[in-house]
Amino acid sequence: MGGGGMDRLRQRRRDGQGSKTETRSSEARRIGWLGIPEREDDGRCRAWEECVPATRSVLIVRQNQQTIRVPKPTVIVDARKQAPYDFLRFENWIGGTVHKALEIGDYTIEGLEQLIVVEQKSLQEMVLSLSVNREAFLERCALMSKLCHKLIVVEACLPELKTEYKFPAPAHPNGMMGSLDAIYARWGIWYCLASNRYLAEERVASFLSKIYTLEWLQTNNYGRWFRDGDI
């Protein structure tokens, strides 16, 4: 976004706040019209504050100058996952959720369990998975590699992962980054550093929606693309 566009975005946020002054505490602090809790990150991941909210529009598919109505997927959430995403903000992309025990990962799409897997990690969970729980985590990665579409979403930004951790961890930031790169190189598992839980949930919802849409199109004898002459 250019300088002028960013200035207009900041002005809209100020206008939306009006003359009200919110009480800011360590337990509940909010940022402008997004209403997202602030991170205690010493300013390392503050750029996300400028992010616009997720679109409310449905995913539109146009092929051969016609709009194709694609049903919305049902997300399967691993029943053992603590504090999972509920995807309620993304009713334009996600049709609903069900909770079941999954063999691997935290999320998949109903009917596409053998194609899609998503693993959700906080910063501390990611670091511990690559250190004290490394053997078990790499075994799960080997299983994830057998699926076509696999994603690890991390609720942290690159500077957080690349600097000294604020919690006990027998791991060095360089080792963490190197391990994630090696996992991608060996098994093709994409990792997304999504800054925080709010943005991570959006990335997972978008990822699942788009993979499902392409699979549905191919299964129903349409082309495997979203727009003619585009993606």
Structural domain including 210 reads: 61-219
- Residue 208 DSSP symbol: H
What average pLDDT score do residues 54-80 get?
A: 95
Determine, yes or no, domain membership for 230.
no
Q: Which residues contact 11 (CB under 8 A, 6 or more apart)?
A: none
What average pLDDT score do residues 94-108 get?
A: 97
Determine, yes or no, domain membership for 43.
no
- 188 with 91, same domain: the answer is yes
Determine, yes or no, domain membership for 50.
no
- 79 with 189, same domain: the answer is yes
Indicate the pTM of the whole model.
0.80
Determine, yes or no, domain membership for 23.
yes
What average pLDDT score do residues 8-26 get?
A: 39
Please report the beta strands in the chain, taking only residues with DSSP state E, as ranges in sequence order: 30-31, 36-37, 61-63, 66-68, 74-78, 96-100, 107-109, 116-122, 149-155, 190-193
The single-letter code of the amino acid at 204 is V
Question: How many domains does the structure of the chain reveal?
Answer: 2
Note the pLDDT tens digit of each residue in 130-189.
999 999 999 999 999 999 999 999 999 999 999 998 888 888 999 999 999 999 999 999
Q: Which residues contact 134 (CB under 8 A, 6 or more apart)?
A: none
pLDDT for 13 equals: 43
pLDDT surpassing 50 at residue 38? no
pLDDT surpassing 70 at residue 27? no
Determine, yes or no, domain membership for 49.
no
